Amino acid sequence: MTEGTAVVLGGAGAVGELFVRLLGAHVPTTVVDRTSSPIAPTVIGDVCDPSPEVLDAVRTADTVVIALPEDVALHALSACAHAFRAGCLVVDTLSVKHAVAVTLARIAAERGVEALSLNPMFAPALGFRGHAVAAVPVVPGPRAAWLLELITAVGARPVELTAEEHDLVTAVAQAATHAAVLALGRVAAELGGGIDRLGELAPPPHRALLALLARITGANPDVYWDVQAGNPAAAKARAALAAALTDLDSLVAADDREGFSRLLGDLGTWLGPRGDDLRAQAIRQLEALRPSTG
């Protein structure tokens, strides 16, 4: 199934543009946003207070992608739901799934549409190739299968899971990871002696984390706020992170070298056969972080 048209609400943003390029290579695709898109025809409008032109764009689309922050996306879904045509595919791209999955399921039942909840697990600028896309099939169907096939065809890896599984996994993979990097940033700013000196002396693992810190601080704060504040499992992940640091501090304070060795051994056992591949990957990535000599 490749016929039809698509509309991307929020298509002028980074995530929206990712999907505009994907869909636009196969079907006529329109952007709805407050600003014009440089890569697709645009209907200028407010998706939370849709004009007749916005609703017409939604009404005629066979695939509707909502690429907006959580609070705006949920409002847009409610405001535009009555315009979804029966049989169309409605897609969100939120980083937290518990609320939007419930909303999509309700709208799908009312309007007779398919619903697919996606979360690209990478920064949009990196593109799909080589990266994972979390996929929650709320109400699957042929159009949802078609979109997942497009994502696979451009080199990405759709990973299907439930909304609950998604939020638990991303609480660790995103919320705890971002929290750890931000916490390190606070420590570096307080104790590191300045970014220039720290950058001169930092070993490769620390440079990698400083690079991640720079990436986070240079991005849209709303994205990272939604990960921390919107995910119901994020607080548990942050608490576990804090407890793990406290436990490590206790091992060192007690001069418990054996306990420290057991910690590393237990984590190595948890990594299992993937450990060797990840260690090799770490060597390649850290080698790429050699500081510039220019």
User: pLDDT for 36-67, tens place per residue?
Assistant: 999 999 999 999 999 999 999 999 999 999 99
Residues 137-153, mean pLDDT to the nearest whole number: 97
Angle, alpha carbons 127-282-265 (nearest 5°): 130
Q: Find residue 132's DSSP bridge partners.
A: 157
Q: Report yes or no: 107 and 81 within 8 Å, Cβ to Cβ.
A: yes
Ranges of H-type helices in 9-97: 14-24, 52-59, 70-80
Residues linked to residue 89 through DSSP beta bridges, in sequence order: 63, 114
* Mean pLDDT computed over every residue of the chain: 94
Asked whether residue 24 carries a pLDDT value surpassing 90, the answer given is yes
CA distances from 88 to 4, 102, 159, 260 (A): 9, 18, 22, 55
Residue 179 in tokens: 């929290």
Do the Cβ atoms of 137 and 103 come closer than 8 Å? Answer: no
Of the candidates 4, 2, 11, the one whose C-alpha atom is nearest the C-alpha of residue 39 is 11
CA atoms of 103 and 79, how far apart (whole Å) = 12
| Alpha helices (H) along 127-256 | 142-153, 163-170, 177-191, 195-201, 204-217, 221-225, 234-253
Mean of the pLDDT values across residues 97-115?
A: 96
The whole-angstrom separation of Cα 7 and Cα 28 is: 9
Query: What percent of the chain clears pLDDT 90, i.e. is strictly above it?
Result: 88
For residues 83 and 182, what is the distance between their CA atoms, to the nearest angstrom? Answer: 42
Q: Is residue 294 very low, low, confident or very high in pLDDT (cuts 50, 70, 90)?
A: very low
Q: 222-265: per-residue pLDDT in tens?
A: 888 988 998 999 999 999 999 999 999 999 999 999 999 999 99
Q: Are 128 and 153 in contact (CB under 8 A)?
A: no
190-199 pLDDT per residue, tens: 998 899 999 8
The span from the first CA to the last CA of the chain, in angstroms, equals 52
Please report, rounded to a whole number, the percentage of residues in the chain having pLDDT higher than 70: 98
**Dihedral angle sign, alpha carbons of residues 223, 228, 234, 238:** positive
- As a whole number of angstroms, the distance between CA 34 and CA 37 comes to 9
Average of per-residue pLDDT across 73-88: 97
